[in-house]
Structure 1
Amino acid sequence: MVGSITPSPAGLDLVHALRANCERPFEDARSMPPEVYTSEAFLALERRDVFRREWLCLGRASALAKHGDYLTGTIDDQPVVVLRDAGGELRAFSNVCLHRMSVLLEGRGNVRRIVCPYHAWNYTLDGSLAGAPLMDRQAGFCKDQYKLPAVRCETWQGWVYVTLNDKAPPVHAHLADLTQLIEPYGMTDYVETFYEEHVWDTNWKILAENFMESYHLPMLHRATVGPHSKLEEMECPPGLPAFNYHWITKEASLPIGNAHPDNTRLKDHWRRTTALLAIYPNHLITLTPGYFWYLILQPRGVDRVHIRFGGGLAPEFIDDPKAGEYMATLKALLDDVNAEDRRGVEAVFRGVHAPLAKPGHLSHLERPNYDFARYLAQRVASD
């Protein structure tokens, strides 16, 4: 169940340029061609071959704890709602009314029924049409013929994923290698304590790449986390088909950065190790022994990216009497870090338009960026 877009010659030329760039060994790797970030034709291929075919994260299942709790998102141009139904199950549907095609729900919240804001057609939590004002006067109308189209929805490690691709393997199989890597953290039980949405003026891939490497920390974040970031402490192993990652093992500057004394899951150096995970195409997670934060990216054209930004604490810190204090300190720090990142990635987006811009060599700490580029090169125009 994926849309069709005919690749343009300009888009295919960029695919060939990206693939040629990715054929270099990592020791001679370069950043992606600047047009990959600025081309509408390339974005059209990303939409067709990546966003309409992959599993996309929409948020944490813990945000949908009660019957009727819902969150909304999009799969490319398809609005989607995920909700907890009356039986306690998670379901996902097209978030578009079956009458005159208005979007039904916005943001997050709780509902007893899904009510269209346009003409008040309303649906139960299983997607069935429950009511349609005055439509009984139309002889050809039968409400039993209407039900919101279902969308594939699965959970992994406490995250809600959706896809329009009926042939995609189950998300737990898709991310099995990552589960094995991070299982001791117990991320499923981490509790989200804040959530926001933002739009920045940059290409979605520039922000994704910014998250994937810590090479920039000492400079871009020199007023916040930079002084605590030692590049020699970072490990950047080769990525896998569905994700890339890197590790930082250190004594954290925040108490919640290391494992809580009551944490019996993590042993030895893992009690001090932070994992930075980039799940393709657009789900980015910083996972520490005590807290997590994440970004979920959605392109809004080549020049803007919609960001879902959230985070929270490991269960031991949720139960700690100082949980509120810890979370307030973390959120204040992350807000400052995000402001620095925004300046950085918006400056890069201005730079990739420059006539003299060209790809430079990647550092050994930018291995995840190399793997991300190869992922895109393999996915776009793959038919």
Structure 2
Amino acid sequence: MTLLTDQFFDSFATSVMPTEDAETLPPEIYTSEEFYRFEKEALFYREWLCVGREEWIPASGDYFTASHANEPIIIARDREGNIQAMSAVCQHRAMLVAEGKGNARAFICPYHHWTYDLDGKLVGAPAMNKTCNFDKAKNNLPKLKVELWHGFVFVNFDPDAEALVSRLAPLEPVVANYELEKLRGPEPIVENFAWNWKVQFENNNDGYHASRLHQGLHDYIPSAKASFPEVPKGTAGYYRLNGTLHKNAAFNPTEKALFPVFPKLSEEEQNRLLFVNLPPSLSLVITNDVAIYIIMDAVSATTHKVTFGSLYMPEAMEDPLFETKAKVTSDYTNSIFAQDLHTDLLVQQGLGSKFAPRGRYSWQEDAQRQFNVWLVDRYMAEWDRRRGPAAPITKLHATS
């Protein structure tokens, strides 16, 4: 029996109501492989997806590979210095033409040596001269749209997708002074986790648990100081703020910034943390000296891959004590992450139970309601596309 019915999608309406009235989304959207396949069409093949940082490919020929929803992707700097994004799947027999990262003059399929230029154009196909009606121009690597936002590289599988940066304009006033495009960091860490990508995304956004699950670890950033500004409908992301009990609070044993504070921050900004959410792939946790980025790649209904990285002022990494300070910080944040990751695993187990609820929200969980609105707006659009023009267009309250 299919999960995807009008009744199922109509039930989402209670999850986009005002926070004091709303309830969580159905547990099945976190556990069902059928729904994950639906999400591929509703979200991952239509929305802008973060794949990494621009500084990872500084020179022509530099490339790195990424994936989203099991689609292998190459991000490369071409000979003119432009960033190109393309499928990594050879158009001959589906072998991947690139792995990892590096610098290349071209992408050569290891299997049969079909050769693609840095922009994905097929420039060599050995022994294909006897193949009837073979046209190299029709066998280029499929291209993806590319945009940059504050140093982050985004791709989109939909050639007709609306531009990203213009849809993030409402976030500019809150991110501008952090100058994210100027920040630099060490090699990120990549890990695989056994829970739905939305469980991860919700935990990243959750201000409610900070003073409970992490009690004693960052009491100086209390849940009671969380706030959830609204963004205009159509914005491609949203954010939350969390006030701190002292200036320039940070995640380390001193509770204060160990690295150079971002120089343009106002007095108000130095007394809060910023959490920026660009679903379905990027969460930012930004203190006043470190910007943590979390890139999520949904692999299945119950698994996903995460790229964790940290960004600093460039001079911070030139400090002889940088590695020592970074270790102190990472050891501290890892103790917080360990609690989060264990919780995420147990939440995923709970979501598979017949007793899994559609629970109610605290006011400190308004970011979850904002996430629900973002999701449901796109879920309903895809469901209406599938039902066709004869079906009435479902209208739900939505703000983003």
Normalised to the residue count of structure 2, the TM-score between the two structures is 0.85
Indicate conservation of the 8 Å contact 1:260/1:317, yes or no. Answer: yes
Aligned equivalent of 2:14, options 15, 20, 24: 20
Partner of 1:119: 112
Judging changes above 3 Å, is the alpha-carbon distance between structure 1 residues 77 and 155 closer, same or farther for their aligned structure 2 residues?
same
Letter in 2 for 1:179: E
**Equivalent-residue separation in structure 2 for 1:125 and 1:299 (angstroms):** 27
SS in 1 for 2:35: helix
Indicate conservation of the 8 Å contact 1:197/1:306, yes or no. Answer: yes
Judging changes above 3 Å, is the alpha-carbon distance between structure 1 residues 375 and 141 closer, same or farther for their aligned structure 2 residues?
closer
Of Structure 1 and Structure 2, which has the larger fraction of its residues in helix? 1
Partner of 1:67: 60
Distance apart, 1:349 and its partner CA: 0.6
Matched, 1:220 2:213: yes
- Deviations 1:9-58, CA, capped at 9 Å, x for gaps: 53543322112332x32222222222221223322221111111111110
List aligned pairs for 1:339-378, cutoff 5 A. 339-378=338-377
Structure 1 residues 128-137 or 33-42, which shifts more?
128-137
Distance apart, 1:327 and its partner CA: 2.2
Indicate conservation of the 8 Å contact 1:203/1:299, yes or no. Answer: yes
Distance apart, 1:295 and its partner CA: 1.4
**Equivalent-residue separation in structure 2 for 1:264 and 1:10 (angstroms):** 50
Letter in 2 for 1:63: W
Distance apart, 1:317 and its partner CA: 2.3
- Deviations 1:192-243, CA, capped at 9 Å, x for gaps: 31312211111111111001112212333347x3444322232222355422
Distance apart, 1:106 and its partner CA: 2.0
**Equivalent-residue separation in structure 1 for 2:366 and 2:81 (angstroms):** 42
Judging changes above 3 Å, is the alpha-carbon distance between structure 1 residues 15 and 266 closer, same or farther for their aligned structure 2 residues?
same
Matched, 1:10 2:4: yes
Matched, 1:183 2:183: no
Partner of 1:238: 230
Structure 1 residues 229-238 or 362-371, which shifts more?
229-238
Letter in 2 for 1:279: L
Judging changes above 3 Å, is the alpha-carbon distance between structure 1 residues 319 and 235 closer, same or farther for their aligned structure 2 residues?
farther
Indicate conservation of the 8 Å contact 2:35/2:301, yes or no. Answer: no
Identity across the alignment (%): 28
Indicate conservation of the 8 Å contact 2:211/2:219, yes or no. Answer: yes
Distance apart, 1:335 and its partner CA: 3.0
Partner of 2:167: 174
- Deviations 1:145-178, CA, capped at 9 Å, x for gaps: 5432321111110000000122222221121111
**Equivalent-residue separation in structure 2 for 1:219 and 1:256 (angstroms):** 18
Structure 1 residues 206-215 or 126-135, which shifts more?
126-135
List aligned pairs for 1:1-383, cutoff 5 A. 8=2, 10=4, 12-22=6-16, 24-136=17-129, 141=134, 143=136, 146-222=139-215, 225-240=217-232, 241-250=235-244, 251=246, 252-253=249-250, 254=252, 258=257, 263-382=262-381, 383=384
Letter in 1 for 2:212: M
Normalised to the residue count of structure 1, the TM-score between the two structures is 0.89
Indicate conservation of the 8 Å contact 1:190/1:291, yes or no. Answer: no
Distance apart, 1:80 and its partner CA: 1.7
Letter in 1 for 2:187: F
Partner of 1:3: none
Structure 1 residues 160-169 or 65-74, which shifts more?
65-74
**Equivalent-residue separation in structure 1 for 2:341 and 2:120 (angstroms):** 39
Indicate conservation of the 8 Å contact 2:206/2:365, yes or no. Answer: yes
**Equivalent-residue separation in structure 1 for 2:56 and 2:230 (angstroms):** 33
Stretches of structure 2 that go unaligned for 5 or more consecutive residues are 385-400
**Equivalent-residue separation in structure 2 for 1:261 and 1:356 (angstroms):** 48
Partner of 1:4: none
Judging changes above 3 Å, is the alpha-carbon distance between structure 1 residues 346 and 12 closer, same or farther for their aligned structure 2 residues?
farther
SS in 2 for 1:338: helix
Stretches of structure 1 that go unaligned for 5 or more consecutive residues are 1-6
